[in-house]
Amino acid sequence: MLTGALALAALAAIVGVVLLYSGAYNVAASLQHSRPVYWVLDTGMRHSVRRHSSGIVVPDLTDPELLRTGAQCFHLTCAKCHGAPGIAREDIGRGLLPLPNDLTQTARDWPPEQIYWVTRHGIRMAGMPAWEARFSDRDLWAVVAFLENELPRLSVREYRERIRDVSEMSCPRPMDESARPDAARGRELMREYACHGCHRIPGIVGPDVYVGPPLEGFAHRAVIAGVLPNTRDNLIRWLRDPQSVSAMTVMPDLDVTAQHAADMASYLESLD
């Protein structure tokens, strides 16, 4: 019996490896998921969100100011991929697989703590980003408040009314707290700012990429970008405004906040 189970497991492992390396599985997003695969992904996602969001305490979501902020953040960020009443998803939102939910449906079906959790943490392999580095906690809840208490009940005309001043709208970003720089948080932030899209970074799993230099041993580097002495203040300046340090650099300005730069600098200084 045990031998049979072991043989079956070994066979499954071999089939898996052959499938993996043969390239037989088509990763094209132009082909839809089969119904069973879609069911597995969706069911797994729903149960995972339910479990991980349990215990989150939902604040008061009826404050008009909160709803106003939520409408702005929703329109400026969420609607691009998810669409809005009478407004189509933009190209990226249409091309993702699985397709981003229409949030009027989600708002009716999902409890607020689950919407908050997904907005904050994102969903792996689904194109949903984690917004926690870009939105303050208050703004995350503002989006949830708008979804839960307004969006599904708005007519197209009323939605347009909410976003009439779109050119003057902004979605606020996290306030710079003056928390002590934290290396562990810095490591997570390096992922959220997509630093590992160009650099190999110890402690971060990501693509095998050499657009920028690998950051191993950064604590020992004498200079940043080949030109600036490697001190904490210089590193923060480099992270926040690289092109002011070196006009030719391909390192882009990522709109890094002061607190986030300090956290990331702290992580870089820990790379032995």
Partner 1 sequence: MQRTWRPILNPWTDRIRSGGFILVLVLCACSSHTPADLHEASRESGRLLIEQYGCGTCHTVPGVRTATGKLAPPLGKFARRVYIAGSLPNDPDVLTRWIQHPQELVPATTMPDLGVSEQHARDMAAYLYSLR
* Binding positions for partner 1, rule: CB under 8 A: 210-214, 216-217, 220-223, 225-227, 246, 248-251
Length of the chain: 272
Nearer to partner 1, 20 or 179 (CB): 20
Nearer to partner 1, 138 or 237 (CB): 237
Cβ pair 268, 219 in contact under 8 A: yes
- Cα gap 101→92, rounded to integer Å: 13
Q: What minimum distance in Å lies between the beta carbon of 245 and partner 1?
A: 9
Nearer to partner 1, 62 or 231 (CB): 231
Q: What minimum distance in Å lies between the beta carbon of 226 and partner 1?
A: 5
Q: What minimum distance in Å lies between the beta carbon of 95 and partner 1?
A: 24
Nearer to partner 1, 16 or 217 (CB): 217
Crossing angle between the packed helical segments 232-240 and 258-269, to the nearest 10 degrees: 130
Dihedral (C-alpha) 255, 193, 42, 20: value to the nearest 10 degrees?
140
Return all residues near 269 (Cβ < 8 A) that are at least 6 apart: 183, 218, 219, 232, 235
Tokens of 212: 């920028």
Nearer to partner 1, 88 or 227 (CB): 227
What's the farthest any 2 CA atoms get from each other in the chain?
70
Q: What minimum distance in Å lies between the beta carbon of 227 and partner 1?
A: 4
Cβ pair 172, 69 in contact under 8 A: yes
Q: What minimum distance in Å lies between the beta carbon of 218 and partner 1?
A: 9
